[in-house]
């Protein structure tokens, strides 16, 4: 649409001095005519199509734990959208409850939202009831926003065992671990995060954390480097394909 047409009235106005002659209905018509015609309103930028999942042979998954954070996650989502990359977010239930609008955006933009417990305990240190509560409460907080209960559980610290596996199986979830650990939370160094993804291979699940600005700082370079190696990006569920409830996966094979 031509820029000059923005805000042009829909119809030519009658001589303003004639307004006094207009009935009440005429006033309404005049007011309406002052509104820009629907077609004259600049279109809001179309929401980008969510990127498709990788379906080739060299797919891997970028995963981000411990969010969402209003300080860092929206900027990460901007970067992922700009580069048409799908990722998987392992959220804390407590954070999901506090920032549901960020979850809603993650889903709207094609990402997968999954369970990283409610409060980040070592699940193997809990009673089975307490463990189940950590997982179920988080599933409920996610489902409230996204409309569906997540199918992936990532135990904090990667700490798992028979009881975690049993609870996951009961809830028809699988355990999603990782095979590439950037240790971004420890060194806070974008260059080291970038270097760590050099270990990725087809089917890799790469662990990062969206609560650190220094991780978000690394992500654009991470995407470019992996694309340069011929990798495409998939959500974890898409990458894993058929799974066995309760089982733990470090990568897709």
Q: Would you name the residues annotated as active-site residues?
A: 65, 209
Residues 213 to 242: which contact Ni ion by CB under 5 A? none
CA distances from 174 to 19, 66, 177, 178, 249 (A): 70, 18, 10, 13, 8
Is 65 an interacting residue with respect to Ni ion (CB under 5 A)? yes
Is 134 an interacting residue with respect to Ni ion (CB under 5 A)? no
Contact 58, 230 (CB under 8 A): yes
From the list 59, 66, 113, 207, which residue makes contact with Ni ion (rule: CB under 5 A)?
A: 66
| CB of residue 100 to Ni ion, shortest distance in Å | 20
- Token reading at 101: 């609008």
| CB of residue 127 to Ni ion, shortest distance in Å | 21
Annotate each residue in 153-182 with x if it binds Ni ion (CB under 5 A) or - if it does not, as one string.
---x--------------------------
Helices (H) and strands (E) in the chain, counts: 10, 9
- Which stretch, 42-50, 65-73, 95-103, 173-181, contacts Ni ion (CB under 5 A)? 65-73
Would you call 17 helix, strand, or coil by DSSP?
Answer: helix
Closest-by-Cβ residue to Ni ion is 65
Contact 88, 61 (CB under 8 A): yes
Is 210 an interacting residue with respect to Ni ion (CB under 5 A)? no
- Which stretch, 4-12, 20-28, 76-84, 151-159, contacts Ni ion (CB under 5 A)? 151-159
Distance CA 111, CA 103 (A): 9
Backbone phi, psi, residue 150, to 5°: -65, 155
- Token reading at 125: 């240190």
Would you call 138 helix, strand, or coil by DSSP?
Answer: helix
- Cβ closest to Ni ion, residue 59 vs residue 92: 92
Where do contacts with Ni ion occur on this chain (CB under 5 A)?
A: 65-66, 156
């Amino acid at each position: 649409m031509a820029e000059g047409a923005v805000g042009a009235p829909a119809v030519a106005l009658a001589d303003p001095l004639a307004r006094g002659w207009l009935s009440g209905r005429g006033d309404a018509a005049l007011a309406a005519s002052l509104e820009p015609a629907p077609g004259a309103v600049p279109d809001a930028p179309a929401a980008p199509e969510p990127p498709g999942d990788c379906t080739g042979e060299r797919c891997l998954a970028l995963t981000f734990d411990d969010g969402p954070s209003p300080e860092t996650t929206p900027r990460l989502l901007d970067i992922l959208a700009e580069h048409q990359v799908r990722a998987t977010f392992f959220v804390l239930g407590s954070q999901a409850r506090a920032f549901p609008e960020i979850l809603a955006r993650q889903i709207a933009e094609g990402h997968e939202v999954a369970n990283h417990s409610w409060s980040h305990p070592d699940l193997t240190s809990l009673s089975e009831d307490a463990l189940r509560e950590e997982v179920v409460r988080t599933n409920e907080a996610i489902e409230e926003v996204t409309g569906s209960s997540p199918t992936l559980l990532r135990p904090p610290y990667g700490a798992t065992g028979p009881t975690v596996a049993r609870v996951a199986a009961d809830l028809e979830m699988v355990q999603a671990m990782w095979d590439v650990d950037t240790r971004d939370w420890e060194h806070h160094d974008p260059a080291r995060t970038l270097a760590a993804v050099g270990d990725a291979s087809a089917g890799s699940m790469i662990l990062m954390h969206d609560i650190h600005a220094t991780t978000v700082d690394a992500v654009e370079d991470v995407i470019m480097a992996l694309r340069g190696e011929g990798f495409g990006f998939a959500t974890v569920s898409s990458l894993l394909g058929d799974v066995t409830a309760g089982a733990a996966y470090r990568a897709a094979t």
